[in-house]
Amino acid sequence: MANLNAPPRSLTDSWLSRAVFANGWQLSSILIAVVLGIPIFSVLSSIFEPSSDTWQHLSETLLNDYIINSLILAAGVSVGTFLIGVNTAWLTSVCVFPGRRIFEWALLLPMAMPAYIIAYTYTGFLDFAGPIQTTLREAMGWGYGDYWFPDIRSIEGAIVMFSLVLYPYVYLLSRAAFLEQSVCVLEVGRTLGCSIWRSFFTIALPLARPAIIAGVSLAIMETLADYGTVKYFGVDTFTTGIFRTWFGLDDHSAAAQLASMLLGFVFLLVLLERWSRSKAQYHHTTGKYKQLPQYKLAGLRGWIAFAMCLLPLLLGFILPSLQLGQWAWQTHEEMLNSNFITLTLNSLLLAAGASIIALIIALYLGYGTRIYKGIIMSSVQRISSMGYAIPGTVIAIGVIIPFAAIDNHVDSWLRQHWDISSGLLLSGTVFALLFAYTVRFLSVSIQTVEAALGKVRPSMDDAARSLGRKPLQVLREVHLPIMKGSLLTALLLVYVDVLKELPATLILRPFNFNTLAVRAFELASDERLADSASAALMIVAAGIIPVIMLSRSINRSRPGSQRNNDSTT
Q: Quick one: pLDDT at residue 155?
A: 93
Identify which of 109, 278, 89 has the alpha carbon closest to the alpha carbon of residue 170: 89
SS (H, E, C) 498-522: HHHCCHHHHHHCCCCCCCHHHHHHH
DSSP 386: G
SS (H, E, C) 150-218: CCCCCHHHHHHHHHHHHHHHHHHHHHHHHHCCCHHHHHHHHHCCCCHHHHHHHHHHHHCHHHHHHHHHH
Distance (Å) of CA 467 to CA 289, 372, 470, 473, 474: 35, 20, 9, 11, 10
Residue 96 parent element (H or E): strand 95-96
SS (H, E, C) 149-168: CCCCCCHHHHHHHHHHHHHH
Rounded-to-integer distance, Cα 159 and Cα 167, Å: 11
Q: Quick one: pLDDT at residue 553?
A: 64
Q: What is the Cα gyration radius of the chain?
A: 26
Q: Quick one: pLDDT at residue 563?
A: 44
Q: Quick one: pLDDT at residue 181?
A: 58
| SS3 assignment, position 295 | strand
Distance (Å) of CA 49 to CA 44, 52, 67, 188, 257: 10, 9, 21, 60, 8
Residue 321 parent element (H or E): helix 319-335
Q: Quick one: pLDDT at residue 489?
A: 74
Q: Phi and psi dihedrals of 518, rounded to 5? A: -65, -40
316 in Cβ contact with 113 (< 8 Å): yes
pTM score of the predicted model: 0.80
Give ranges for CATH 1.10.3720.10 in the chain.
48-325, 336-514
- Correct CATH for 48-325 of 1.20.1200.10, 1.10.10.10, 1.10.3720.10, 3.30.70.260: 1.10.3720.10
Rounded-to-integer distance, Cα 495 and Cα 349, Å: 10
Q: Quick one: pLDDT at residue 60?
A: 81
Rounded-to-integer distance, Cα 469 and Cα 141, Å: 81
Q: Quick one: pLDDT at residue 503?
A: 87
Strand partners, 96: 296
> Given phi > 0 = left and psi -120 to 50 = alpha, else beta, which region is 234?
left
Which amino acid type is present at position 457? R
Residue 467 parent element (H or E): none
Q: Quick one: pLDDT at residue 186?
A: 56
pLDDT per 10-residue tile (average), the chain, 569 residues: 49 51 76 87 78 80 90 94 92 86 88 88 84 83 79 91 92 79 55 61 69 84 88 90 83 82 79 63 47 73 92 93 90 86 90 92 85 78 76 86 86 80 78 91 81 74 75 76 77 85 88 88 86 88 76 57 43
Rounded-to-integer distance, Cα 277 and Cα 73, Å: 23
Rounded-to-integer distance, Cα 181 and Cα 285, Å: 10
- Correct CATH for 336-514 of 1.10.3720.10, 1.20.1630.10, 3.90.1150.10, 1.10.760.10: 1.10.3720.10
